[in-house]
Every structure is written in structure tokens, then in C-alpha cells.
Amino acid sequence: MPVNDTANEFSRSLAKVLVHEGGYSNHPADPGGATMKGVTQRVFTEWLAADGKPSRDVRTITGAEVAAIYRKRYWDVAKLDKLAPGVSYVVFDGNVNSGVSQSIKWLQRALQGLGLYQGAIDGIIGQGTILAAAGVNDNDMLIARIIERREAFLRALKTFKTFGKGWISRIRDVKAVGQAWATGSVGPEISYKPGGEAKAFLSSAKAAPALAVADASTGSGVGSGGIAVTLQQVQDQLSPLSYSSELIGKVVAGLIIVSAVLTIGGLAYRWYAKRKKDRLKDALDIPVAS
């Protein structure tokens, strides 16, 4: 449903986002780098260049510049005026923290989970996404699902161990405020959470577990066929001699046991690694089949 007072919806959403963004930060583990009130040096430089102005230190950014950047790059580009109160704020906060495309994917996944969206999870706020959002009867539930997707994404980042506590506190505040606004309430007061301002980008995703070890142990490796195949070749060569030597017979028996252990262990690890890889792709909104 469209928002009646779009100007007020943006201003009150911006006020909440700025609380969580705090002031200046430049943590070495933050992929955003030097950032002031949520605006990175790169974004500020691009903004000034587009207006024909020379670059400045982001710490000198004015309140008017902050508001203008947020309005154009994180609100208008996502067509948030077309989303319901509360929902627009939740998506807006995600836009600022993780990028517009990623935040829209959380919205699309949430709508998909409610059976209202059958389109691609592409991070583009098209007519299909807008119509699906307009058909939601319970925006409390929609917001809960968006935050659930966002939390899964955050936990799939390497930087979660550094910024996770701040991020989780932030999204809990965002959920509480968003759900309150969705029902017409004023919502709770929120506060700055140290670490919650760090950018949470896909580029910081954890590496998926490698399947090479499992392939090697089960005979699916590259080249000669891996450890299991090599052991089988040795076993085949020694087997004819096992009848004339008790020692060789014991070696062959040992190779059979080792081969079996490697194969079973490799298959078990491959199942575990593939399951973990698929879960990681799902959390990061990467098609599992890709």
C-alpha cells in the first residue's frame, strides 16, 4: 500500500538509520572503509564528482549532503515510497548497511516465503515486487521474514565474528521499530550499537567448504583418480603375492580397511560439505544450482 506522507516516512526512517550509523568510523575489518554517518568515502567522492565538485574528506560532510545522498541512493532508487510504513524503513536500513540490491533480495525472499512473489530473486525493485508487497495483509510477518533473511546473511559473513554482536543488536531494533510503525505505533527508542555500523557486504562472505578432499578420498579426484584409486591399484598389484606371504596378506587386508574407511569418510564429508555449501548459498541469496 502506498504511503500517504512520503516526506515524513523518509525523514523519520533517516533519523533511525543515523542513530545506528553513529559518527565517523574506519575499522580495518570494515569493507566500507572510512565512513561518516553511514556514507563511505567512495560514495561521497562519487556524489561530489557527479555534481562537478572536488573530493573532500568524508568527515566534512554536511547534514544536508547526508540527507540528499540517503534520499537519492538508498530511498528513491529502491522506490520505498511505494512500500508500506515500517516495511520501507526496514528495507531502507538494509539498503544502507548492505547495499540496495542485497536488501531488495531479502524483501523478495520474504515475499516469496509468504507465497506472494514468484519472480526472480534479482535485487531489482520492479513492478512485480511492488505489487507483491502491496498484497501483504500482515506486514509484521513480512518484516519478521525480512529480518530473518538478513540475519542469515550476516551470519554467513567472515566479518560476523568481529561485528556480529553490533549487527544483531541493530537488526533487532530495526525489527521492533518497523513492526511498530507497520501497526501505526510510534515505536521504541533505539541507541547506537558499537560495530552495528560496519558495512555487511557480499564480498565478505565466508568461503564454501572445498569438496576436493572428499573427491580424492572417494576416487573422484582429478588425474589418476585420487587416494582411494591409488590404494586400489597397490592392492591389486599385491593381491597375487598375498598367497605366498603372510606379511603381504596382512598388508593387503590393511589396504582394504584403509580404502573402506577413506571411502566412507569421504562420502560422509562430501555430504556434510555440500549441505553446508548449499546453506551458505541460500543465506547469501545465491542460487543453489549455480
CA distance 97 to 206: 18
Is residue 264 scored above 90 in pLDDT? Answer: no
- What are the distances in angstroms from CA 215 to CA 71, 89, 208, 236? 50, 47, 15, 21
The proportion of the chain whose per-residue pLDDT surpasses 90, expressed as a percent, equals: 69
Neighbours of 149 (CB within 10 A): 24
3-state secondary structure of 231: helix
Backbone φ and ψ for 147, nearest 5 degrees, come out as -65, -35
3-state secondary structure of 218: helix
H-only helix segments in 114-211: 127-134, 139-155, 160-182
What pLDDT, on a 0 to 100 scale, did the predictor assign at position 8?
A: 92
Q: Give the range among 17-31, 120-134, 206-220, 258-272 with minimum mean pLDDT.
A: 258-272
What pLDDT, on a 0 to 100 scale, did the predictor assign at position 223?
A: 45
pLDDT band (50, 70, 90) for residue 87: very high
pLDDT band (50, 70, 90) for residue 2: very low
CA distance 71 to 205: 28
What pLDDT, on a 0 to 100 scale, did the predictor assign at position 269?
A: 56
Q: Are 182 and 139 contacting, i.e. CB atoms less than 8 angstroms apart?
A: yes
SS3 of the chain: helix, strand, coil, percent, to 5:
65, 5, 35
Question: What are 120-129's contacts with CB under 8 Å, separation 24+?
Answer: 121/285, 121/287, 123/285, 125/78, 125/79, 129/104
3-state secondary structure of 287: coil
Give residue 88's Cα distance to chain centre: 19
Domains of the chain, residue spans:
6-202, 212-283
- What are the distances in angstroms from CA 170 to CA 37, 71, 148, 150, 280? 15, 21, 13, 11, 22
CATH architecture for segment(s) 6-202 = Up-down Bundle (1.20)
Q: Are 41 and 199 contacting, i.e. CB atoms less than 8 angstroms apart?
A: no
At 45-74, the pLDDT tens digits run 999 999 999 999 999 999 999 999 999 999
Give pTM, 2 decimals.
0.79
